[in-house]
Each structure stands twice: as structure tokens, then as C-alpha cells.
Structure 1
Amino acid sequence: MDRWLNKLEAEAGDDPRRVRHWKDCRSTALGKTGFAKYFGKDDVNTITPNRIDQFILFKKANSSAENLKPTTVKRNIVLLNVVLKFAHADRLLTFLPTMPKVRTKDNPRPWFEHAEYQRLHNAARDKAKAAKNIGDSEAADYWDELSDFIIFMVGSFLRPGEWPELKHKHVKIVTSDPPYLELDVIKSKTTQRKSVTMQTALSAYKRIVKRNKRSPEAYVFKPTYLNRQTARERMADAFEALLDDLGMKEDVYGRKRSTYSLRHTSLMLRFIKGDNVDILALAKNAGTSVDQLERFYLNRINVADKIVSIQSLRRGAARRY
């Protein structure tokens, strides 16, 4: 256990995201109802499927919550499996026990309908125009940047943790028909990747360059903040203030919206407005999996929005149908 946690700590280095992951793993493993507490110093070879089931019962019995969330149980099982694989790789474990399956309920991701998305970036642009009218160029740039940020994010499929490290040298303008941006996503939740955008992101990017120039080493958003975590927080503050002002902090189901909702919006709009979207290509471009798209997005599509695709037939097939 200690060797596994030490390895995570060493790999984390100064990366804030990895440090948080290491701390979360340590808390899950070493907490008062964690698997390290239950199994103690037992030989890892004594950890059988039956003992893992007993651990789950132990965790539920000693939880302060009345109903332990399945996601909490699943996280413990997943991390326990990681530790056992680590032990197996070090030849401390002769075989890997079968891990129990924990059923979890997928929580729908809050997003913005197309009209809401337009209302958002237009409201920020209106605030910029109002600031310009009174000669406040700093406020005008602040709101213009937020408007372009909203458009860029919906057009690029980026996560909130991916845009802060995006520099102009990571952005390539591709003059095809239609034109688009090719992004080098260097700090991703999954893996570094190249990602192509919708044409709307290109339009927003051109306005950003016009305001701030295109120095290769400069950050695309919040370029004056060298601390990129602070840049991310400041953008989130501005976005949430706009949501509050427009009464859009929650969706119709009471789910709280955040900058992550812009990524959810970009994916949902692809399925709603796209024609015969290749979900494998979309998953790769967005740095996710087909399974994730099916679980969190495809099953929420209103079939009425896709009635034309559902009823479409290959040319000449109508008579035979």
C-alpha cells in the first residue's frame, strides 16, 4: 500500500491535478472505512472475492451516511483493484481476484439548449458593448473574452481543465472548406491529443487574436495570469456571474451548471444538429470514449429531433421497405 501511494506521489510531482488524485487515493485507501483499514497488514493473497464482499458490508455498516452511494463503493473497488494489480506486477500476488460489480446510476450532465447558448454569449457581448459606450475598455475586453470563451468552448469540445494550458502555438488555422482550428491539447484528462473544432471556434479565435495579437508563447485565454489555476478560477467566476445575472445557474431539473456544461453542450449539439455523426471519430476528437457518449449523451437525445435521420432510406430503397 505504502509503495503504491509513494509511487503516485512521485508521479504527481508539481502537477495540481495529479496531486489532487494522489490525495484522493490516499484518503480513500487510508480512511476509517477504507480498504487499508479493513485488510490491515494481511497478506494480499488472502484477499478473495468473498473477503472483498465482506469489505463492502463493513464499509456500509460503518458509514456515517444512511445510504452509502454506489459511486463511493465503486471508487473503493476500483482503487483496490489498482492496488492488487500493482502487487501482482511486483509478484507479491499470485492471482488477481474477481472484483464485484457495483451498479451505479448515471447522472445526466447539465447543458444549454441552443437558444440558451446563444443567449449566453450574446449577453456577454452586450455587456462588452455597454462598457465600450462609456469608455471602459478594460471591462469591454473582459466581457468580449467571456463571450468568445463560451463560443470557443462549445465549438472545440474542450474540458475546463484543458483550455488553461492552450497557447497560440498550440492552435493551427486550417483553411479548408469549411475552415477550422486544429488544437494540440497538451493537458488532458485522458491523453494528449490533436482535436479539430467547429467553424464557430475559428471565428471566436480570430477575434481573440485581433484583441491580444498572436504571440506563440502567450495563452489564448486569460493571458496575463501566469498561474493557470487562478486563470481557470477567474474564468469560472466570470461565467457563473453571467449565469446568475441571467437566471441560468440551474437547468430545468435543478442541476447546477458550470463551465463544464459548455463541453456537454458541444457534444449534445453535435448529436442534435449533426447529420450522421461518426461517434467513434467524435469520441476520439473529444478525448472520451464511445461508451461515455452513449451513457451520458446519446440516451438523452429526443428521437423527435432525429426523425429525418430515423426515416431516411438509401436511394432506391423506399419501394422495398
Structure 2
Amino acid sequence: MKTLTLDEASHFLRLAPQEIMSKVETGHLPGAKINDELLFIDSDLADYLRGYYHPTVSKTATSPNPNLPPVTVDKFNTLFSELVPHMLRIEENRVRRGELSQKSLSITRNRLAKWVEPYFDGMAISEIGYVTLEAFIQQLTESEIKGVAITQYLIIIRKVLNYALLTNLITSLPHFPKVKAPRASRGAFTINEYRRLLKTAWRMRNQPYMMQNRPKEIHLNEVSVMDVIMPSDMTRLIGFMVNSFIRPSDLKFIQHKHVEIVDGEYLYLRLSLPETKKHDQPIVTLTAGVGIYKRLLKDAKSRGYGKPNDYLFLPEMAKRRDHALRYLGFLFSWVLDKANLKYGAKGQTRTLYCLRHTAITYRLLYGEGVDLLTLAKNARTSVIMIERHYASTLNGEMNIALLHSKRIRKSIKQHN
């Protein structure tokens, strides 16, 4: 596998650079723009070129990648299963370029193996149409798979068929059935629920999680094992998230070097976290976040941590951050269970993400004069996402005082 520049791709395909750029922009040719330079993978270009082959008596052709199965040249008999490895290769390249996470790729592989490949096994791409896709959706529905997950399965199928389209094995994509995924906001905690969470987490500190009359164990690494005990940091984690707007995934990456105490006209933390979801601006916390962080740092230093490259939460699991995040999720679920808050008012299962919802919802309710754009930028999201998800659970009664407020007459204001 070799990377080609625009000029090299032009020579490879015998097409003008302008024509190649046009095909990339319209989605007819795979390419990636990195550091303002358009790059291609030779095997992708070979697949594109092979799509123009005239059907021959031979039904298969040698794949440019020896690790992949040959692709059927006969467009009408090309099997769906033959194209899956090629779609996965494209996804693997996206992981290498940092456009896709390894976890997302693993989820795609699992979904392919569990439902997609068994259903479409032996099926030619020419046979896949609206009726076939509708029947697939019905099978998922009968297996109690919900709308959001069904949509993700359809995205995988679309990617495989899109590869067939780009390589001219089909002339158009089939019409996909529409699946309505009901919007179910994770929901925020009320003030009373938030206080109950903090009190419960603090009351549970240093308690072991018991399984069959003995503490549950967790592996720190290949050789070290520790009992599952509720850390005092869990109370601080809850407070920190509600006062900082961070996502649960940020807990994996946030280190002390990312935190700066700003003590000026306002007292707050400036969080310069790694880029997430194409957002890289610093996050400004509320004042309460400063006190929480100071207590967190003091406790960390007493245990030999707190250095710039140490993580704020579970620094003991520095080499297993994915595992650390799952462990924090387990501990929070344990707190929710003890506080009788595992489910929201609409029956939705609560997770660490509800703490981010709480942070944003409290600013919408109690942040005097805060505008959505400022809030969205500070929370590393968009105004649309705030209106669609975070504000979707609000109602007028939640801030009755603001709703009943009156403007001060100018004459009175000037007189004062």
C-alpha cells in the first residue's frame, strides 16, 4: 500500500488534476486532505479504475491487496460479503488518520459479525433494494433492537454499498427506509437530586463493593490487583463535572497540566483539554470548580500524585485509561443505585453523561443573561445541540421567577 500525491494520482489514472479534485469533492473518488495536501492510497485508485472494467467471462479479479478477497468483476453477481473487507480497509485507514476511533471500528466489526453479514451472506449487491432493507429492519425490530441502533446498522450497510457505487459496481444507491429514532435526552439532575448524589457518594467513601461475601477485585495492570472501593474522589468528580461542563470521555485525558487556576476579576479554572469532537478551545469552569480541584490536588499529592502529567481521576490507572473510564462509570452507577437515582423522570437510564447535562441545564436555568452561543462554545458543543438535547427537557415552571419577571421602566431606572 502506497500513498500518492495529486500529481501522482493524476499520472496513475491518466486524468487531469482538476478532474480528480472534482471527483473527490463530489464523492466519486476516495481521497483525504491532510495539511492542505490531497493524498490518495494506490489500492483505492486501483479499485476505482477496476470499476470501469468491462465484464469478462472470468468472474473474479485479483485484489490489489493480497490480504483481501478478490472482487467479482461481474457487476450483477458481486456479493455483498466480497465488499465488506474493502469497506473495513477504508475504515482502518480512517483510524490511522485519526478520523475514527479504534472503539468505533470495533463496534462496526461487531455489528457486521452479529447481524449484517449473516443476513446478507450470499446476497448479490444488485439484489439489495428497499424491500430487502425493510425486511432486515423488521428482523432487528423483532429482536428488540431500538431505532438508534437500527440506524447505525443501516449506516454500515450504506458504507458497503457506497464503496460499490464509487467503484462503479452499482449505478446508484438503493432507497433506504426511514427509521425514526425517538429523542430521549439523558436528562439533568434536579438541585435536590444533585445534593443527594453528593451526600450518597460521600457516605459511601471507602466502602468495598461486595460480591458473594467478598470484595470485588479490579486489575490495575498485568500484575497488580485491588479491591473495588468507593474513592472519596467520586464526590469531587461529581462536583467537578457539574461545575466544568466536561464530557465523561474527558475524564480519560484530563491531567493536572491541563488545569490552570485563574484568580482575577473572576475566579475559575481554565481547562486546556485535548481536542474533542473538533473543538479545541479552553473550557472555563464555575468558581466552585476551583475549590473542588484544590481539594482533589491536595489529596492526590498526599498519595504521591498531583504532578503535571498525572491524571486528575484514578491516576493509579495511568496506562489503562479506557479501563479507568469504564471503572468510573461503574462506580457512578453504584452511587446512583444507592441514591435511588438510576432512572430519570421519563425512565431513561442515567450515566456519567447526565452530569454534563446537569452543568449545561443549570446555566440555562440559573445563569443570568448567558447566551446560548457563549455557553455552547464553552461546553465544546453547538447551539443546535443545546436546543435539541440539553434544553429539550426544560419547561417554564423550572424557572418561574424569570418567566414572571417584569422590565424596569426607563423613567424609574433613570430616576434611580
TM over 0.5: yes
Distance 1:232 1:82, change over 3 A: same
User: Quick one: which of 257, 261, 271 aligns to 2:364?
Assistant: 271
1:274, CA displacement in angstroms? 1.9
Q: Could you tell me how far 1:114 is from its partner in structure 2? A: 1.1
CA displacement, residues 224-251 of structure 1 (integer Å, 9 cap, x when unaligned): 1121123223323332222233333333
Structure 2 letter corresponding to 1:160: P
Query: Paired residue for 1:133?
Result: none
Query: Taking every aligned residue pair, what percent have the same amino acid on both sides?
Result: 28
1:222 aligned to 2:299?
no
Q: What is aligned with 1:188?
A: 276
- Kept in 2, the 8 Å contact 1:161–1:189? The answer is no
Q: What corresponds to 1:199 in structure 2?
A: 287
Moved more, 278-287 or 144-153: 278-287
The 1:89–1:284 alpha-carbon spacing in structure 2 relative to 1, beyond 3 Å, is: farther
Pick from 121, 126, 133: which aligns with 2:198? 121
Q: Show the counterpart of 1:281.
A: 374
Is 1:177 the equivalent of 2:277? no
C-alpha separation in 1, matches of 2:139 and 2:205: 54
TM alignment of 1:52-131, pairs within 5 A = 53-63=130-140, 65=142, 69-83=146-160, 101-126=178-203
Residues in 1 aligned to 2:403 and 2:117: alpha-carbon distance in whole angstroms: 49
Deviation at 1:32, TM superposition (A): 4.3
| Contact 2:271–2:283 (Cα < 8 Å) also in 1 | yes
Cα separation, partners in 2 of 1:76 and 1:289, compared to 1, 3 Å: farther
User: 113, 134, 144: which is aligned to 2:232?
Assistant: 144
RMSD: 3.9
List aligned pairs for 1:247-266, cutoff 5 A: 247-266=340-359
Q: Which amino acid aligns with 2:87?
A: W
* Structure 2 counterpart of 1:306, from 386, 399, 403: 399
1:12 matches 2:12:
no
CA separation of 1:218/1:90 partners in 2, compared to 1, >3 Å: closer, same or farther? farther
2: CA distance between counterparts of 1:20 and 1:143?
A: 27
Partner of 1:26: 109
Question: Alpha-carbon deviations, 1:27-68, whole Å to 9, x = none?
Answer: 44565446992894537xx98xxx3x3243221344471666
Give yes or no for contact 2:206–2:230 (8 Å, CA) kept in 1. no
Report which stretch shifted further, 150-159 or 235-244: 235-244
Matched, 1:235 2:235: no
Higher strand proportion: 2
Q: Deviations over 1:195-223 (max 9, x none)?
A: 22222222111111112234111111111
- Check conservation: 1:167, 1:220, Cα contact below 8 A: yes
| Segment drifting more, 19-28 vs 265-274 | 19-28
Alpha-carbon distance, 1:166 to partner: 0.7
TM-score, L = length of structure 1: 0.77
Alignment partner of 2:381: what SS? coil
- TM-superposed CA distance for 1:111, in Å, is 3.1
Asked if structure 1 preserves the Cα contact closer than 8 Å seen for 2:187 and 2:390, the reply is: no
Distance 1:27 1:231 in 2: 23
Shift in CA distance, 144/177, structure 1 to aligned 2, threshold 3 Å:
farther
How many residues are matched?
304
Higher helix proportion, which one? 1
Unaligned 5+ runs, structure 1:
131-138
Name the TM-score, length of structure 2 as normaliser. 0.61
Q: Distance in 1 between matches of 2:328 and 2:342?
A: 15
Displacement of 1:262 in angstroms is 1.2
SS at match of 1:180: strand
Letter paired with 1:69: K
CA distance in 2, matches of 1:252, 1:166: 31
Alpha-carbon distance, 1:119 to partner: 2.2
